[in-house]
């Protein structure tokens, strides 16, 4: 027998930048008593709706307007990282804050392997040769190693990290995983480390040829990879950051790359963003950079709708929400 809902959802405010058809699908999926959709820059209409909204669905993180909304109980931010919402005053207000982590996990994992393959095969060197119409000439290229048979270390085993691990296994890699909390080991992970079990990242770093970062940014993960962690890595190892820039001490990374302590880096995120023109990272031959953007999945919006709809069901029944922000996500370093 299906458990009855504990309560209905009253007024929902949406400021998502979606098409009318997509907004209609979201409205139907939530089934609220009132659904108000306005552009996020229609500030007066947003303020008016917040006077009675119980739920807000946003394309960005929440700001102080939502902390002051008298009836607001749940805010959904339609992206993965909730760092800018994980402020002390948000927790003090007692809001439920959820995100859309997982909607782009397959694409982000593929992006990480774009870096892994590009670094393993020296994409920059090969592209330069093509531009110069040179058939051969990269020193010692025949001794480079493909990914198969190497060890992949994934730090952060949420949606994206689990997808990274699965791709690593498909490439024939040995896969190590590190997560914050205890939990079941995904089938594609050969060995798991956990902060809650007292493990550090050092052993994973020491054994890995490719390290991928997929952790949320919090006070716990700020500079999770600093000089001491980089010193644990193999000289042939590469570091790929698909998390947030401050998860890595960028000055320490630049120093490690210059000294040859690690072989290369793939960076979709930096500190700050955009990366300043004068950053030495731009010109390092063993660094690949993308501007914090990944090609989207064809069904990304529907994946967001599915997450929001499931959370609406859970909200009505008072059940734990998907991708809910917790005090452990607090970020005060930025």
Active site residues: 244, 273, 292
- Taking each helix axis as running N to C, give the angle between helix 300-317 and helix 20-30, from 0 to 180 degrees, rounded to the nearest 10: 20
Task: Write the CB contacts of 67 (distance below 8 Å, at least 6 apart in sequence).
Answer: 89, 90, 93, 95
Under 8 Å between Cβ of 176 and 152: yes
Q: How far apart are CA 181 and CA 169, in angstroms?
A: 22
Token pair, residue 174, equals: 């040995």
Phi-psi region of 292 (alpha: psi -120 to 50; beta: other; left: phi over 0): left
Burial class (CB in 10 A: 0-12, 13-18, 19+), 108: buried
Pairing of strands 264-267, 74-77: unpaired
Peptide bond into 274 cis (omega under 30): yes
Spatial strand order in the sheet of 74-77: 34-37, 11-14, 55-58, 74-77, 96-99
Q: How far apart are CA 317 and CA 288, in angstroms?
A: 46
CA 272 to chain centre: 17
């Amino acid at each position: 027998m299906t458990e009855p809902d504990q309560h209905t959802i009253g007024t929902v405010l949406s400021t998502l930048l979606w098409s009318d058809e997509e907004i209609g699908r979201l409205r139907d999926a939530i089934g609220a008593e009132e659904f108000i959709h306005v552009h996020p820059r229609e500030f007066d209409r947003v303020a008016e709706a917040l006077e009675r909204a119980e739920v807000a669905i946003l394309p960005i993180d929440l700001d102080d307007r939502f902390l002051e909304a008298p009836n607001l109980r749940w805010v959904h931010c339609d992206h993965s990282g909730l760092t800018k919402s994980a402020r002390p005053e948000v927790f003090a207000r007692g809001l439920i804050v959820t995100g859309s982590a997982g909607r782009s996990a397959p694409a982000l994992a593929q992006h990480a392997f774009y870096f892994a393959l590009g670094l393993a095969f020296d994409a920059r060197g090969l592209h330069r040769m093509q531009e110069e119409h040179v058939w051969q000439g990269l020193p010692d290229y025949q001794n480079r190693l493909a990914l198969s048979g190497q060890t992949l270390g994934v730090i952060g085993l949420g949606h994206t990290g689990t997808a990274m691990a699965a791709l690593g296994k498909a490439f024939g890699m040995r896969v190590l995983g590190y997560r914050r909390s205890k939990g079941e080991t995904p089938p594609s992970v050969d060995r798991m480390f956990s902060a809650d079990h007292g493990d550090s990242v050092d052993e994973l770093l020491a054994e890995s040829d490719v390290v991928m970062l997929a952790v949320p940014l919090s006070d716990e993960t700020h500079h999770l990879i600093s000089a001491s962690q980089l010193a644990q890595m193999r000289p042939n190892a590469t570091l790929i950051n698909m998390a947030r820039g401050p998860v890595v001490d960028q000055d320490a990374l630049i120093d490690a790359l210059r000294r040859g302590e690690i072989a290369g880096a793939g960076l979709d995120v930096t500190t700050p963003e955009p990366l300043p023109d004068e950053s030495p990272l731009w010109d390092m031959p063993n660094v690949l950079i993308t501007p914090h953007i990944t090609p989207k999945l064809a069904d990304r919006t529907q994946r967001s709708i599915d997450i929001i709809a499931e959370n609406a069901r859970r909200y009505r029944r008072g059940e734990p929400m998907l991708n809910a922000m917790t005090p452990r996500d607090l970020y005060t370093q930025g």
